[in-house]
Structures are given as structure tokens and as C-alpha cells.
């Protein structure tokens, strides 16, 4: 494991979470140097000493912490993430750079942001699929289907009000997972609205859907409004136009 100290960057928006407390000289505000001294990032190593694809980061600072790792957000003073490492056509792994950004909210409301990058060179711990829909070996009825345009029930993630997709568990919502949609037969005009089942909020509008893998990042607003432990409105995907076949929905870790 290699310890990497974070460097200062410009401030950005933050949503509070439960902090980990530690006594420091200034109880209301900490400096960038204090934050760096209490923050570490480690990267797994392979037998050759190359960086792997498992990044762990933590801070013991008395702050509320939000991490962005490779563009994916995690809330909490400790974050752990497996990153997908791309492979060159030759079969070798290329040096994939991932940015790690820590946004810290001090007790007095001051925001501090630090940023660094890590290079991933090898897969030391493979990503695992966690199925939401489409695990036909375990659930034979979860077969590919073609939703119709403007059919809001077709892709509502609700075991009681949706036509196909099950309710998404709260830990997936509040873990801010990135949903991966495996799509085939997508027409050129395949255009999607991502909202909640009550039509009261649109999270992403006019999303271009293509054949292959499409990602949807769950945000904290989506979690609070759609999770059963929140307002229970259910995540809802609806086609404005075009046709597609939805094969499966999952996330990876």
C-alpha cells in the first residue's frame, strides 16, 4: 500500500453526512494542512509492485466528507472503491488515471476541497456484478423486454407498481451506486427521461440510449426521493421516443 497525500483544489458543493470526530486545536474550522495530515489514500499492489484497481481512502478529520473517485460519489469519512481498468488491444492494461476529490464540511460550515489522482495498472481484485434485473439463472422470468415510448410503468423500479423491474433496495440508493443498463437494438432516436414514479422530479432529461452499456449515476436527491427509506417514489425510466431492448440492470463493485 502506498500513502498518497491529497493536494488542495477549488471548493465545490457538498451534502452533509455523519462525521467521525477527533479533537483538534480549532473545533470550528480546520486548515487544508490539518485535513491532509488526517487523510490517506491507498492503492492495492500486484506482485510486481504496480498499482491495482482497489482504492481505499479515509479521513479522521472532524468533518463531513464526500469523495468523488473517478467521477463516482461516495459520502462518509471512509470510502472504498474498485475501479475498472481498461485493457489495451494488445492485452496489456493501460495506465488509467482516476481523480480522487475530497470535499470536507467543517463544523463551522466552511468547505475545504482537496484533489489528487491515482494511476491504476492492473486488476488486483475483480469487479463483481450485483443484479437489479436480468439475472435469468436465478430469476428465469427476468427476460429482456422492449418498453414502449411514454409507457411510464414499463421501467418503473417497483415490485408493486412497475410492469417489469423490481424495487431497488435502499442500500443501492443510499450507496449512490451507478446503475448499468445493458441495452440492445436501440434505434438512433432512443431518448430517455429519468424521473421518479410520481412525475414530480426529473433527474436526467433527454438521455441518449445506445446499444451496449449505459450508466445512470444515483444521486443523493434520487436516493432520498425514490428509496423506500426515503419518500418511496421509485426510480422511473421512460422513453420519449425510439425503441430498445432492455436486457439487464446491475451495478459493479
For residues 154 and 192, is the Cβ–Cβ distance under 8 A?
A: no
| β-sheet bridge partners, residue 133 | 249
Considering only residues 94 and 201, tell me which one the structure prediction assigns the higher pLDDT.
201
Evaluate if residue 129 carries a pLDDT over 60. yes
**Dist. CA 82–CA 76, nearest whole Å:** 16
Please tell me the pTM assigned to this model. Answer: 0.75
**Dist. CA 5–CA 41, nearest whole Å:** 7
For 43-88, how does the pLDDT look when each residue is reduced to its tens digit (9 = 90+)?
999 999 999 999 999 999 999 999 998 878 888 899 888 888 877 7
Helix, strand, coil percentages (3-state) for the chain, rounded to 5, are 5, 40, 50
For residues 162 and 153, is the Cβ–Cβ distance under 8 A?
A: yes
Q: E strands within 32-95?
A: 39-45, 51-59, 64-69, 72-75, 78-82
Q: Quick one: which H or E segment has residue 33? A: helix 32-37
For 88-104, how does the pLDDT look when each residue is reduced to its tens digit (9 = 90+)?
777 677 788 899 999 99
Evaluate if residue 6 carries a pLDDT over 70. no
Evaluate if residue 22 carries a pLDDT over 70. no
Mean pLDDT (whole number) for 134-163: 95
Residues 6+ apart with CB under 8 A from 165: 132, 133, 155, 156, 157, 158, 249
Percent of the chain with pLDDT over 90: 72
**Dist. CA 105–CA 108, nearest whole Å:** 8
Q: Which three cell numbers stand for residue 10?
A: 477549488
**Dist. CA 139–CA 83, nearest whole Å:** 28
> How many helices and strands (H and E) does the chain possess?
3, 16
Phi then psi for residue 177, to 5 deg, are: -70, 160
Amino acid at each position: 500500500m502506498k500513502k498518497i497525500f491529497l493536494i488542495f483544489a477549488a471548493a465545490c458543493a457538498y451534502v452533509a453526512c455523519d462525521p467521525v470526530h477527533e479533537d483538534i486545536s480549532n473545533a470550528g474550522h480546520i486548515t487544508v494542512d490539518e485535513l491532509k495530515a488526517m487523510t490517506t489514500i491507498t492503492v492495492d499492489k500486484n506482485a510486481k509492485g504496480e498499482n491495482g484497481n482497489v482504492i481505499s481512502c479515509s479521513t479522521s478529520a472532524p468533518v463531513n466528507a464526500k469523495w468523488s473517485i473517478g467521477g463516482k460519489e461516495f459520502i462518509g469519512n471512509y470510502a472504498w472503491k474498485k475501479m475498472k481498468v481498461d485493457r489495451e488491444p494488445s492485452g496489456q492494461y493501460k495506465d488509467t488515471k482516476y481523480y480522487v476529490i475530497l470535499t470536507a464540511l467543517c463544523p463551522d460550515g466552511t468547505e475545504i476541497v482537496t484533489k489528487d489522482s491515482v494511476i491504476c495498472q492492473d486488476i488486483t481484485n475483480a469487479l463483481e456484478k450485483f443484479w437489479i434485473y436480468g439475472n435469468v439463472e436465478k430469476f428465469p422470468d427476468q427476460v429482456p423486454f422492449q418498453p414502449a415510448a411514454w409507457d411510464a410503468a414499463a421501467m418503473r423500479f417497483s415490485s408493486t407498481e412497475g410492469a417489469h423491474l423490481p424495487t431497488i433496495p435502499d442500500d443501492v440508493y443510499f450507496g449512490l451506486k451507478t446503475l448499468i443498463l445493458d441495452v440492445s437494438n436501440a434505434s438512433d432516436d432512443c431518448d430517455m427521461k429519468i424521473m421518479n414514479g410520481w412525475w414530480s422530479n426529473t433527474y436526467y432529461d433527454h438521455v441518449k440510449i445506445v446499444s451496449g452499456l449505459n450508466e445512470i449515476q444515483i444521486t443523493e436527491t434520487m436516493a432520498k426521493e425514490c428509496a423506500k427509506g426515503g419518500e418511496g417514489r421509485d426510480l422511473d425510466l421512460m422513453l420519449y421516443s425510439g425503441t430498445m431492448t432492455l436486457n439487464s440492470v446491475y451495478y459493479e463493485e
